[in-house]
Structure 1
């Protein structure tokens, strides 16, 4: 055989083997490069099941996490994904107990370095509250993403699969670090501090009314446009906590009776969030009862029922004289969470007010 031909054959064989090795190495590198994402499931509409694909009726939280993951195989191209069932409830039944369980598990996973990011499947009713609680209690700067759906998994036009894919995409993005807890819904990324549910049934229900979304997910890409400067400087360590101080919300309205405030004075309540009219206002009768609550050592926080805007300190209300604090631009349900966590550490009004102005 001609030496030239033989050399060429050996060279071709060598290149072929080298190519196979390179492919294997590339595949190995790609596999190793995939971020590790743990999905913690709590139930909600995203895991809901109904009898008809065209009717609205369904039961939340019926579908377990392994079934949800099998319906979106594309997520495995984005990350090394594993699922864990934390709860199986509709989020109207979300509780402090589940919040603490979630927060402790997330901190444990990150401390063990067993995941690079965490996605939480969650019902939409209280998702904004869970986002705020975790934003204040997760002690690591790794991505935490909450995601849900407005239509159950059995609906013809269900939105859960796409939302879940987007959430994993956000979790896998290197740009998601240091963003705090975020909510991913309807191809938008929202800061967990600011987001709120605004419409009872629409897939576009989640909005940040004061500031808008911080990013979007479209065509396989995650794009961020701004980051809140109000992410918490202080975190609350709940790793050994089993309960939180009781804080209740009272809704303000024209000709409101003080009976609800007076009733709370007979309980073990430690804080009251008043969802007031306009700039957190109240009528004279309710104001007197709230003042009595403050004198008894109950922390009264003024918030608003309007859905956006901020409560100004020492405006129409003499907060200093009455001993009140204001929730700044947090809505009542988010104000309640920050007040509960603050009361876990202090009853000093100045320190609590400082927490509201820093978060």
Structure 2
């Protein structure tokens, strides 16, 4: 056992001297180098130059090494431990180096999660996705259905830019039953790591339903519960000014309060992603009793950039002069970056 440990330590020293890549030793004797992205759901995700993102079975790993700081969790409900570096140990073990407790050896089986810390003040980052769903049916009734959605987010320092939009159209035997699109831009100014202030503007256009146009301008505080390699979750409370225009030409404008949510969570080495976003609101003058606009779905990552997705969308406005009640289900493909 001692000789095997010395072998791992010596091998790690050679690798560290050549480059700052992380190293993973498998129980079958193979050695892989790259960047450890995360450990979750018993899958270790290793980003490599030669094979992209590779999910590794945690039970097949002998030991590992990383000179980059990570957050390590032991048990599902334990607190994260800040670790300066990981060093190889005997088979099925790893040495963790912390400021508070120094170096200690841990069984790999006791570690349930590894996530690199994401700095609060960071250089420019940009991420997003585009999802497309197309459905053509040729039978007694011909049906064409198009659904395109995009979401993008860019951050630099204390500022975060958020953009999203969608386009939906459905025809049955040449008659259009759904035809709408929407755009939204929101700007976040972070006060600290969790609290931020948001200003947003959105526009919705519908050629079929009673409410033909919706314009909304709002502002309010938000809270970022987490934002790391495993996903993100935030809530935002807004005071809005809304303008509605109906198909018959009449108009409404009113102030409202709303709550927005934005949640996504990766599973199985980022192979699957559960996501939901939306907004629930109520006008202050009771022009409309209730409004809801939400999405929930699941993505399956086929490659580093391509994915398959399932999604359900709900739009509902009740109590207004006009009403809106749409539920859509879609399956399609997408790209992420």
Could you tell me the TM-score, scaled by structure 1's length? Answer: 0.27
**Which has the larger share of helix?**
1
Query: Greater relative contact order (Cα 8 A, min sep 6): structure 1 or 2?
Result: 1
Could you tell me the TM-score, scaled by structure 2's length? Answer: 0.29
